[in-house]
Structure 1
């Protein structure tokens, strides 16, 4: 009889690479989770200002994303980098393709609050009312 453990791979022991670790805000009972792929063509501005009902955790698969949350300056997230946002009342201003020569693809796992939409556009009147909460841009 042969010990099967001697023939098993040990690659799993070093296969994990930590991309991000955060403590998300409280998640209520009854939430649900969805994971989606989003792909934008070169130069696409992405979704208009919106909010998510719960926290979102993402990873840029290819390309570069211009990412901006309320209260934070815009930043570029490149292939292989992770991002997150708390969701709730925070406005997500930008998630567009930062490059005009290549497409952008990112994967996002979103925790959705019970009985709420995962994605809600922010009306222009609210954007104007909350303009003082947006970080100064160059």
Structure 2
């Protein structure tokens, strides 16, 4: 599995070749010492996906276009359409993150509230 790496202010985010990850904003949260907000966009080509991972962050997902299949460990898989949302907690293992279509691209925004020194994403075997 080949990975592309995106650097944002010392933060590394790895994604499969089928995903394009674009950093949009990174901001320290002065009311929450040691915490930061990070906003990224993720684009999947048709049939694209990300490997099993976790964030150790509060992750808020908003679908912009296409359909995204999402699942965290212990929950049912859901398919989201534009305007729909998804949440991952700091201890969740993200089992499924993929484009639900094999013919159309998909795009979503992720807002992560995390410890400033924590990695953006951590692979899970």
- TM-score, scaled to structure 2: 0.71
| Alignment of 1:34 onto 2:31 | no
Q: Distance in 2 between matches of 1:31 and 1:63?
A: 31
What secondary structure does 1:55 align onto?
strand
Q: Which residue of the partner structure matches residue 87 of structure 2?
A: 84
Alignment of 1:98-109 (within 5 A): 98-109=100-111
Q: Which residue of the partner structure matches residue 135 of structure 1?
A: none
- TM-score, scaled to structure 1: 0.65
Superposed CA RMSD:
1.2
Q: Distance in 1 between matches of 2:64 and 2:116?
A: 29
Larger Rg over CA atoms? 1
Q: Which residue of the partner structure matches residue 19 of structure 1?
A: none
Unaligned runs of 5+ in 1: 1-27, 124-138
| Alignment of 1:58 onto 2:61 | yes
Q: Which runs of 4+ in 1 moved over 2 A?
A: none
Unaligned runs of 5+ in 2: 1-31
Q: Which residue of the partner structure matches residue 6 of structure 2?
A: none
Deviation larger for 111-120 or 69-78 = 111-120
Alignment of 1:120-135 (within 5 A): 120-123=122-125
Q: Describe the superposition over 1:26-75 as per-residue Cα deviations: whole angstroms up to 9, x where unpaired.
A: xx63111110000000111x111100021001110000001000110111
Q: Give the structure with the higher percent strand.
A: 2
